[in-house]
Structure 1
Amino acid sequence: MKDEPLIELRAWRQFLAVAEELHFGRAAQRLHMTQPPVTQAIAQLERTLGVQLFDRTRRRVALTPAGEALVPEVRALLAQARALPARARAADSGEAGRVRLAFVSTIGFDRLPGWVRDFREHSPQVALELVEATGDVQLEALARGDIDAGLLLHPPGAAPAGLARLAVATEPLVLALPAAHPLAQPPRPALAEVLAEPLVLFPRRILPGVHDAVMQLYAEHGRRPQLAQEAIQMQTIVNLVSGGLGVAWVPASVTAFSRAGVVYRRAEELKGEGRGKVRLPSCETSLVWLGQGQQPALARFVRFVKARAAAGEDGRG
């Protein structure tokens, strides 16, 4: 199939003027031209297209079916052309564009929904595309250029190297227990008893630093965890706990996931040895992106998240 000839916008403007006026003289006045060039331009357009666009008589000008079909398309084409300069300026300033954002499920439990809602209200011309992914998958996607930024978990102060970063939240791990388990009943369970229970845990490859912190917790108390099951998503881990497969250590934000059959216990709700306080590992959530060649729309999103994180807003209001 041969390429169709490229028709300039000027010819389409002339066509639309004649189509709306149905009079060559009035169309010429509207275009600030004399009539002969308009008549010649329409004749040339018809030759280029190979179809007649107007029926002409001495008394009237009427659109043919082909001309009638083109009118709404040409109106839309010219409207798009008029919008292009403003669109370019909006993209350059970050008011328009696209941000491909990956996120871990924990940030999706509380902060992220409100952030997405408010950012879309704040910047309606920026398309915010979301995909849930674990931290290891996010880092690979960033390296390939498949995403623009990611919200991922890591130990406090130990974000992946080589990336620009904005810390958005720090939270402790909490204990998830089957609601029917004896340790879920009063009084407070002893940490030593909890560490003897089967453990549901995420694989090390998706959260190596936090995984190591959990292992260290057991080692500090002379225990080796009895691993019952590994699962990637926090929702799955909580569901397995609900099913009685074991206990789990999860970020505090997961408590927003109210799963029947699961109770959560924070550090102050656990008994340490003697009168000692229980200290549980923490984890941090950061927004990360490639530092070089930052797109204006991404810079706009980073500024928005920075303001929300600094205000301590969790997005649930």
Structure 2
Amino acid sequence: MDRPELPLPQLHAFVVLAEELHFGHAAARLGIAQPPLSQQIARLETKVGHPLFSRAPGRVALTPVGRELLPAARRALAELADGLAAARAVGDGRAGRLRIGFSASLALTVLPELLRAFQERFPGVELDIREMTTAPQLAALHERTIDIGLLREPPAAEEGSLGFRTVLTEPFVAVLPAAHPLAAQRTVRVEQLADSPFVLLPREVGPQLYDRIAGLCGAAGFAPRIVQHAVEWQTVCALVGTGLGVSLAPASIRRIRLRGVAFRAVEPAAARTRVAVAWRRDDPNPLVAHLLATISQDRAADDGHPSPPTAPTAQPR
């Protein structure tokens, strides 16, 4: 059986009349004349198939049918009001869902404070946080399965559909077995690692970072002899701790506390790795703009200089 359509203006008129029980007062409250109100109620009664009000000179009362309909009509109007408020909140960027991809090592640096600051400013937003290496993040952005990426070493060449902005840079450190001779030094020159086997991330999960590390070794006059790959930096460090080899890693990796692993500063000290935020330039989601603005504001606070909010279409720095 098909359900009758009940236009919202008729439901609204019905609820107001049920509360006022006076056509003149209800019409004034609705901001309409009394005849249009009577027509709205008559149309609704036709749809229901029964009178909703009993009418007598000087007296209007709900019929049993009207009393039965009134709670459902109020719920329908309240749900619509709630739905409209929720839709406006999403449109204004005060609510909704933001899908963020992040490289695991960023949980040791910018990610916790960024998420904390964003949630303080936008408590009604649901965050969907997904741990992903750089290459899968870029693919997910193109496939529109995430909205924001936080990654290491973004592509060197600009991608027209994606925007990138540097969030921070950090130096590299040497990751050594605690018993390694170089662990006795405070600083390790990259060329001193030439004779040691390496444990590194596979190139396919982060091509730019892999090439950055290989480039540091190349500049020091050798190609790293890789004996083992691991997808996560924590696994890399654990394998180094077994004595399997050494590695070069972002300095934040020092926060991974593993027995048998030593972290040492690297020369040249100017060698740094870049962390960037990535987004789709054509993304209309206001939450993307809000997250970019949060990053800009937090960086400005660190620098002591104000920075204006940045829209998703802004040029990357």
Deviations 1:190-220 (A, max 9, x none): 6566443432211112222321232244445
1:270 matched to which residue of 2? none
Instruction: Give the drift of 1:310.
Output: 3.8
Of structures 1 and 2, the one with the larger relative CO (CA 8 A, separation 6+) is 1
On the 8 A contact 1:16/1:75 being kept in 2, the answer is no
Q: Which moved more, 1:5-14 or 1:95-104?
A: 95-104
2:132 matched to which residue of 1? 133
1:69 matched to which residue of 2? 72
2:273 matched to which residue of 1? 283
Q: Distance in 1 between matches of 2:48 and 2:197?
A: 76
Q: Distance in 2 between matches of 1:258 and 1:194?
A: 22
Residue 303 of structure 1, aligned match among 293, 306, 310: 293
Partner SS for 2:145: coil
Deviations 1:115-168 (A, max 9, x none): 12212222345554432221111221222233333222117x936543322111
On the 8 A contact 2:183/2:262 being kept in 1, the answer is no
Distance 1:95 1:55, change over 3 A: closer
Partner SS for 2:169: strand
Partner SS for 2:17: helix
Q: Distance in 1 between matches of 2:107 and 2:158?
A: 20
1:87 matched to which residue of 2? 88
Partner SS for 2:171: strand
Distance 1:229 1:28, change over 3 A: same
Equivalent runs, 1:196-211 vs 2, <5 Å: 196-211=195-210
2:166 is equivalent to residue 176 of structure 1 = no
Letter of the 2:75 partner, please give it.
P
2:255 matched to which residue of 1? 256
Distance 1:56 1:197, change over 3 A: farther
Q: Distance in 2 between matches of 1:199 and 1:53?
A: 85
Distance 1:263 1:73, change over 3 A: farther
Letter of the 2:104 partner, please give it.
S
On the 8 A contact 2:186/2:265 being kept in 1, the answer is no
Distance 1:305 1:182, change over 3 A: same
Instruction: Give the drift of 1:286.
Output: 1.3
Sequence identity (%): 34
2:218 is equivalent to residue 215 of structure 1 = no
On the 8 A contact 2:199/2:244 being kept in 1, the answer is yes
Q: Distance in 2 between matches of 1:53 and 1:238?
A: 78
Instruction: Give the drift of 1:11.
Output: 1.4
After TM superposition, the score normalised by the length of structure 2 is: 0.74
On the 8 A contact 1:202/1:211 being kept in 2, the answer is yes
Q: Distance in 1 between matches of 2:188 and 2:272?
A: 20
Q: Distance in 1 between matches of 2:157 and 2:128?
A: 23
Count of matched residue positions in the alignment of Structure 1 and Structure 2:
296
| Unmatched tracts of structure 2, length 5 or more | 304-317
Partner SS for 1:158: coil
On the 8 A contact 2:101/2:149 being kept in 1, the answer is yes
Letter of the 2:88 partner, please give it.
R
Q: Distance in 1 between matches of 2:135 and 2:174?
A: 24
Q: Distance in 1 between matches of 2:67 and 2:245?
A: 76
Deviations 1:202-245 (A, max 9, x none): 11122223212322444455545343321222233234334554
Partner SS for 1:200: strand
